[in-house]
Amino acid sequence: MSSALRVLITSEQIQERVRLLGEQINADYPDGPIYLISILKGSFIFLADLARALKRHSVRIEFMGISSYGAQKTSSGQVKVTRDLDANIEGHHVLIVEDIVDSGFTLSYLTRVLEQRKPKSLEVVTLLDKREKRVQAVKVKYAGFQIPDEFVVGYGLDYAEDFRNLRDICVISA
Ligand code: PRP
């Protein structure tokens, strides 16, 4: 496949923003454990950098897999959990870690699922926020960058499973 890539956010810009997000989150939470829940697969690189930007000892890493039926997430009922947490999050501070929030259907479903498990707090951190595409209202406490409605890859985000390993976030056009 021949694709044109245009850098939207450089690796350096990402690193600086993640460092600031880490500082902000550190300041907002009391000492003690924070559970970071990485939503597979796109958030794995952001998770790795964010976890290291949190200057505290108790940062607990969990993974969750979700799938949506068909190519389009046209309703929240079409999302389901394919890989669940290992830990019991009841009574703990929990941060959902996303690479991108688009329509909001994924997060809307996930927050409902996780709230039922009675965490002490439940917030969302996303590296990228495509706010203009939002269909379902979701509360995003921490967002790295607002981005326009363009197809982006890199730093964990894919196009047909490729490009996740790019250091920059790039706009792709076929
Ligand atoms: C992306 C992203 C979010 C979701 C956001 O995952 O990681 O989970 O889409 O979209 P929404 O706000 O419209 O629900 P994707 O389905 O691309 O899977 P991947 O992370 O495994 O690439």
* pLDDT tens-place string over residues 12-41: 999 999 999 999 999 999 999 999 999 999
Q: Could you tell me what percent of the chain has a pLDDT over 70? A: 94
Ligand 1 centroid vs 144 CA: distance in angstroms? 16
Place of tokens 């290992």: 86
Q: How would you class 165 by CB atoms within 10 Å of its CB: exposed for 0-12, middle for 13-18, buried for 19 or more?
A: exposed
Look up 31 and say whether it is catalytic.
Answer: no
How many whole angstroms from its chain centre is CA 143? 9
- H or E element in which residue 16 lies: helix 11-28
**Averaged pLDDT, 135-144:** 96
Q: What is the pLDDT of residue 132?
A: 94
Q: Which of 49, 99, 102, 129 is catalytic?
A: 102
pLDDT at 69 over 80: no
**35 phi/psi in degrees, rounded to 5:** -95, 120
Residue 129 has pLDDT above 60, yes or no: yes
- What is the distance in A from the centroid of ligand 1 to the CA of 104? 9
Residue 129 CB less than 6 A away from ligand 1? no
> From the alpha carbon of 42, which atom of ligand 1 is closest?
20
Whole-structure pTM value: 0.94
Phi first, then psi, for residue 87 (nearest 5°) are -95, 155
Q: How far apart are CA 100 and CA 155, in angstroms?
A: 11
pLDDT exceeds cutoff 70 at 112: yes
